[in-house]
């Protein structure tokens, strides 16, 4: 297994560690620790793609597993935010619907001998999800530590997450449109 694929696996493994730390109120500075783990996991996403492209280490496993690892990580943090009242269930439904639809298309393409990699719009969507999630998690951590509080933070968090939901819809529509050029949906 090459380094980019190992980084993808590490991202998957770090997700339950993040989730555990986020919810482990009994551990001092648990939100700081969860933020560190989430940032590290997010950085593996950036690193695996760059390393794979730079060193020509792109594999079919990576094309499929990398976006799945992203989905696992971003879904985990959105569920945490929903539990804390910062994320609407509608946002999670929109994001998961797009992700399952794209995964179904990828599976269909694979069955027909094609692999459809993530496009730039999917990468922008994932980058915005991770960036906004880090920003929200940082504020939650600062508030929990008593360092500062932002008025109307729940509204700000909701707006940021709705932006990711809109980007998710746009990237999904583009992916579906582009996939029609590659696979035969009548089979």
Question: Would you state the pLDDT for residue 113?
Answer: 83
Rounded Cα gap, residues 80 and 136, in angstroms = 11
DSSP 8-state class, residue 118: -
Q: Which domains, from first to last, does the chain contain?
A: 3-179 (1.20.120)
Yes or no: say if 38 and 133 are a contact pair by the CB < 8 Å rule.
yes
Show the low-confidence residues of the chain (pLDDT under 70): none
Question: Would you state the pLDDT for residue 115?
Answer: 76
DSSP 8-state class, residue 85: T
Closest CA to 137 of 152, 157, 163: 157
Question: Would you state the pLDDT for residue 60?
Answer: 80
Question: Would you state the pLDDT for residue 69?
Answer: 94
Q: What is the residue whose two structure tokens read 């560690």?
A: 17
Model pTM score: 0.90
What's the angle, vertex CA 137, arms to CA 8 and CA 153, rounded to 5? 145
Question: Would you state the pLDDT for residue 35?
Answer: 97
Question: Would you state the pLDDT for residue 30?
Answer: 97
DSSP 8-state class, residue 55: T
């Amino acid at each position: 297994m090459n380094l980019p694929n190992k980084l993808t696996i590490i991202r998957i493994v770090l997700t339950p560690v993040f989730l555990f730390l986020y919810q482990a109120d009994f551990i001092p500075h648990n939100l700081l620790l969860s933020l560190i783990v989430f940032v590290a996991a997010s950085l593996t996403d950036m690193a695996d793609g760059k390393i794979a492209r730079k060193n020509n280490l792109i594999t079919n496993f990576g094309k499929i597993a990398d976006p799945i690892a992203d989905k696992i990580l971003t879904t985990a943090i959105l569920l945490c935010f929903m539990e804390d009242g910062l994320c609407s269930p509608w946002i999670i439904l929109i994001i998961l619907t797009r992700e399952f639809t794209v995964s179904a298309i990828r599976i269909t393409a694979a069955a027909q001998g094609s692999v459809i990699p993530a496009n730039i719009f999917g990468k922008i969507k994932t980058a915005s999800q991770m960036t906004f999630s880090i920003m929200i998690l940082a504020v939650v951590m600062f508030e929990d530590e008593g360092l500062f509080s932002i008025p109307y933070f729940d509204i700000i968090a909701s707006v940021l997450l709705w932006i990711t939901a809109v980007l998710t819809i746009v990237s999904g529509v583009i992916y579906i449109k582009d996939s029609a050029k590659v696979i035969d949906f009548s089979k």
